[in-house]
Amino acid sequence: MRALEADFLSGEALYRRVVLERMARARESVLVATANVKAMLVELDGRFRPVADLFAALARKGVTVRVLHAELPSRPFRAAFDRHEALLRRGGPSGARLELKQCPRVHFKAVLVDGAWLYLGSANLTGAGLGAKHSDARNFEVGFGTEDFDTIDQVSALFDAVWSGASCRTCRLFDVCPDPIGEGPARPTRRGRGGSGGVVLGRPRRLGRSG
């Protein structure tokens, strides 16, 4: 056990510290891990807009934005996300893109900004979690923000392992995954990659599997 310097965050501070002070001011990268994704509203250009618009604005500035999620994003989020189709396909001027990948096993909630500041806690990428929600309508969430290198390295390693598909090689749920990121365990046969009900989660919005 060792000491960890961190700021305790809860309530409205989650939105202000994580989204406005850190995420919106990112210069290089924003990595988000969340179980649920909804069209949470954030302050952008003097008005409240879907968080997908913030992500797109960051990508246009050359910031890499990656969202790792477990559940299918809400319809309002997908609608806002798909409005940035050109950016999704071609990337911004510096090649930075806005990307989503799905892994049903993701349940950790994290926001890593520029590889130097990390939020870890209970809040999802939703209005009642990290969004601009009234203090009396928010979820009761807690977490912490830190610049601790060791903690950042460990969370980054977990994020990269899932994002790259490396975790798929040993995943015991690979055969029932709706849209695997990488190759699964070597087996004689396995179920196809189509999702239940004909829904292929994440595939239309994923721009390759590199990186």
Average pLDDT rounded to a whole number, residues 67-80: 93
Report CA 93 to chain centroid distance, whole Å: 22
User: How large a percentage of the chain has pLDDT more than 70?
Assistant: 86
Quote the pLDDT of residue 192. Answer: 46
Terminal CA-CA length for the chain: 33
> Strand ranges (DSSP E) for the chain?
7-10, 29-34, 41-44, 47-50, 64-69, 98-102, 109-113, 117-121, 142-146
Residues with Cβ within 8 Å of 58's Cβ and at least 6 positions away in sequence, in order, are 23, 24, 26, 30, 65, 96, 98
Cβ burial, residue 127 (10 Å; 0-12/13-18/19+): buried
- Give the pLDDT band (50/70/90) at residue 86: confident
Mean pLDDT value across the chain: 86
- Give the pLDDT band (50/70/90) at residue 93: low
- Mind listing the pLDDT tens digit for each residue in 163-172? 999 999 999 9
Average pLDDT rounded to a whole number, residues 20-43: 95
**Can you tell me the distance from the alpha carbon of 112 to that of 97, in angstroms, rounded to the nearest whole number?**
16
125 half-sphere exposure, CB direction, 13 A CA radius: 33
> Is pLDDT at 130 greater than 60 in this prediction?
yes
The DSSP 8-state label assigned to residue 206 in this structure reads -
Give which of 180, 208, 211, 195 is closest to 88, Cα–Cα.
208
Give which of 189, 197, 192, 198 is closest to 180, Cα–Cα.
192
Quote the pLDDT of residue 39. Answer: 87
Average pLDDT rounded to a whole number, residues 92-120: 91
- Give the pLDDT band (50/70/90) at residue 135: confident
- Mind listing the pLDDT tens digit for each residue in 32-67? 999 999 989 999 988 999 999 999 999 989 999 999
Give which of 127, 129, 106, 131 is closest to 35, Cα–Cα.
106
Quote the pLDDT of residue 178. Answer: 85
- Mind listing the pLDDT tens digit for each residue in 169-198? 999 999 989 889 999 887 654 444 444 333
Quote the pLDDT of residue 187. Answer: 66
Residue with tokens 């807009």: 49
**Can you tell me the distance from the alpha carbon of 20 to that of 126, in angstroms, rounded to the nearest whole number?**
15
> Is pLDDT at 92 greater than 70 in this prediction?
no
